Amino acid sequence: MIAHYNAQDADAYVALMTDDACEAGYRGAVLREGKEGVRAGLKAMFAEFPENRAEIIQGWQLGDTAVLYEKVWRSAAAEPFEVMSIYSFEGDKCSRMEFVR
């Protein structure tokens, strides 16, 4: 998923998600709902930040959950920010992502 994110390929990214997947703040409000909501949100973000990229610093997996510690750059000149991303899976598809910032 991160490779598709860094390639700014929203279509390939959401192909790895369930139809009702969502992105949300950690234990909070849903930011992007459904595969189409995630696709639209990513395309808008990639248009606004064409140099956007994420680097995985460390990752963990337990059962159907993966947690990634990432650094994200909006542009080559911007200071990166850190995020913990929690990915929940149903089979081989991601069903929910929560972000801690």
What is the arithmetic mean of pLDDT over 29-48? 95
On whether the pTM is more than 0.95, the answer is: no
* Rounded Cα gap, residues 26 and 22, in angstroms: 12
Q: How confident is the model at residue 28 (pLDDT cuts 50, 70, 90)?
A: confident
* Rounded Cα gap, residues 69 and 4, in angstroms: 17
Q: Answer whether residue 14 shows pLDDT above 90.
A: yes
What is the arithmetic mean of pLDDT over 12-28? 95
Distances (CA, A) of 97 to 40, 52, 68, 75, 101: 16, 18, 11, 23, 13
Q: How confident is the model at residue 26 (pLDDT cuts 50, 70, 90)?
A: very high
pLDDT tens-digit series, residues 83-97: 999 999 999 999 999
- Let me know if 21 is exposed, middle or buried by CB neighbors in 10 A (0-12, 13-18, 19+): buried
**Residue showing tokens 């995985």:** 56
Q: Answer whether residue 38 shows pLDDT above 90.
A: yes
- Phi, psi dihedral angles at 63 (to 5 degrees): 60, -125
